Structure 1
């Protein structure tokens, strides 16, 4: 089967574009992902790989399940830490209740996010909100309140202008661990039962860009040093969902790769164009078939010539008479059994042929029917009268 040229053009275009996107120099991705698998500036791979050494643990499990599942399924250590580094921390009410119960039993929760759900803030006595940028904003210096952790000159995170900070609603139960240059809290500890919540308002500080920058590389580790060295869990469900790379579907993977995303859309667009312009049913040209002609008259003429050439005048004359009488019955509705004077008069009236000509024709036909053998002369006379009748009727 001959390949469809439109599909070939679409296939070559998609493959060429995919290769071009794959091999061209990749621009730096400044997306704030906070994912432990991302090497981009604002991913968190560097911190995640260094965290086991800080926590004095062989490894730090990366959780791809909701908070509810982690805290209700399976047996947890007697004491542990639960770390959340993300842009927005918005658990459900049931998950907040489980976190409060988890901390009250002597565990610790570390949360660094620009936005933290109000339900948790009201319970613990703080409030946070992500404010819109302003042209007059400038990058603010951040530092720890603990003299042993403070850095001369402080820490400057150039990609955060200090718009966001924590508002203390119940300051009596909150310990401020870090402030910005305006003395606004950005890092606090809230005791709850036998454990503590650590709330931080600058997640960019924990990304690859600042963990690997010598000027700010120790900030993340100083902040996390408040957690005791015990089993620690790193949450990835909020950022990546439930499925890891080995469980991802084909489309889930496609939509994580910019080149494949554009190739996917290009395929869809090409298929739509193909359906519009080349989707019609293709087939060979249908030949023009002329309508069948009525060859009855030609057939009769051929048979007539055959009888005449064989000198079968009697048979030819009788068939000519039979055909004529059938014509009279069909066209004028007359009974042709008896060919008498009344028949001739009626036929003349209905056909419009002169009565004298009809009378002569009827007599000859009647005589021919009575005759036992017709000659060529009689055949010619009968044929001449019949043809004259036809011409007169048609005229």
Structure 2
């Protein structure tokens, strides 16, 4: 029995070991800020979403996967409620904002924690979301509440935040500052609008898993949300995950949600594009089928012959035959066929290497046919036979 190749075995063991190491090694920590309520990564919000009902006594927390306008016009929440937004950027259009303002005016509450807020909403509520220059960023800047019952002596430090964001109030008496940073700049405000309230907070990172589960900052998010009354609460996920939840994921959405499958998808797409570009050039083009030219001379001669035979025009056919034969003599031997005399017969016999007697007979028949007023069928047959004998003598047919 043939022994296995030891080098091949070493290669297989190495490959298998590499695959096992890659499969079982710990995955690198993902520090991307998603703020999604089903993300367990540091800057997801799963911990807050799951703890919220029990800690803040919001027994009824529902996820919303619709735009603000669609949710408030189509679903129409019954009774008073809270609407909670925790996201990087709050992206709402004019219709969304109009419905959101009407929702609060009727006695409901909206809590927004985002870095980037629409200028139109800020203008209506009387504040600005300001961002300082990068050179003035301070990741050690501490945050704290204004309410003495919520204030922490050492403050709260969210060191992953760059500390450049704060709120500027335009002397609006309806706005109450609920939280400030160490520079005394407002970072958390309340605005009474109609029968309801807007709570504006500009540090959404404080509500993520990392800081909710950290002992030093775990109570900050719940203290901020404690300003909401104990009412049914709607948690917005449309700003972060769009309309579709996990049960409505299509194949492509699942592929795009997985980094490895995402890379594989793009690799296949670009591979097919490159294949189409380069393989298409290398493939031989279709060779068109070219039909060989057909010799229709014989068919033409037969057609003409049948035409003359059916009409019985022997005189015309004989003269045509004489005309074509003399043209062939002129072209082949360079002779003048104007005068068909003995000198012409001798020259033709010499150049065609035929007997003088046979050539004399042919020239005589040609000369008589040219002089005749009308030629009969017999004349045609006699002359044709003489021409065929002359050609047979030349070509040896």
Partner of residue 262, structure 2: 261
Q: Is the 8 A contact 2:141 2:182 kept in 1?
A: yes
Deviation, 1:258, is 1.4
Stretch moving more, 27-36 or 135-144 = 135-144
Counterpart CA distance in 2 for 1:250 and 1:237 is 20
- Matched with 1:28 is 29
Residue 248 of structure 1 deviates from its aligned partner by 3.0
Unaligned 5+ segments in structure 2 are 1-18, 296-321, 332-338, 364-388
1:1-395 equivalence runs, <5 A:
23=23, 25-134=26-135, 137-279=138-280, 331-332=328-329, 345=342, 348=345, 351=348, 353=350, 358-362=355-359, 386-387=393-394
| Structure 1 CA distance for aligned equivalents of residues 362 and 98 of structure 2 | 119
TM-score using structure 1 length? 0.69
Q: CA RMSD in A?
A: 4.3
State the alpha-carbon separation in 2 of the partners of residues 90 and 148 from structure 1. 34
Distance of 2:361 and 2:236 partners within structure 1:
119
The answer (yes or no) to whether the contact 2:56–2:222 under 8 Å persists in 1 is no
Q: Is contact 2:137–2:163 with CA below 8 Å preserved after alignment?
A: no
Higher mean alpha-carbon deviation, 131-140 vs 260-269, is at 131-140
**C-alpha distance in 2 between matches for 1:272 and 1:173:** 60
In 1, the alpha carbon distance for the partners of 2:179 and 2:93 equals 28
> What is the CA–CA distance in structure 2 between the aligned matches of 1:131 and 1:222, rounded to whole Å?
26
**Contact 1:114–1:129 (8 Å) recurs in 2:** no
For 1:172 and 1:279, locate their aligned partners in 2 and report how far apart those are by CA, in whole Å: 71
- Residues 241-273 of structure 1: CA deviation (Å, up to 9, x unaligned): 112222233222222221122111211222123
1:72-109 CA-to-partner distances (Å, cap 9, x unmatched) read 12342321100000111132223222222211222111
Find the counterpart in structure 1 of residue 10 from structure 2.
none
Which segment drifts farther, 200-209 or 238-247? 238-247
- Give 1:32 deviation, angstroms: 1.6
Q: Is the 8 A contact 1:112 1:203 kept in 2?
A: yes
Gaps of 5+ in 1: 1-18, 295-324, 335-341, 367-381
- 1:5-57 per-residue CA deviation (whole Å, 9 max, x = no partner) reads xxxxxxxxxxxxxx99x947533222221111212211111111111213434
SS in structure 2 at match of 1:165: strand
In 1, Cα distance between the equivalents of 2:114 and 2:45? Answer: 13
CA contact (8 A) 1:348 1:355 kept: no
Residues 357 and 190 of structure 1: CA distance in aligned 2, closer, same or farther (over 3 Å)? closer
Question: 3-state DSSP class of the match of 2:40?
Answer: coil
SS of the residue corresponding to residue 50 of structure 2 reads helix
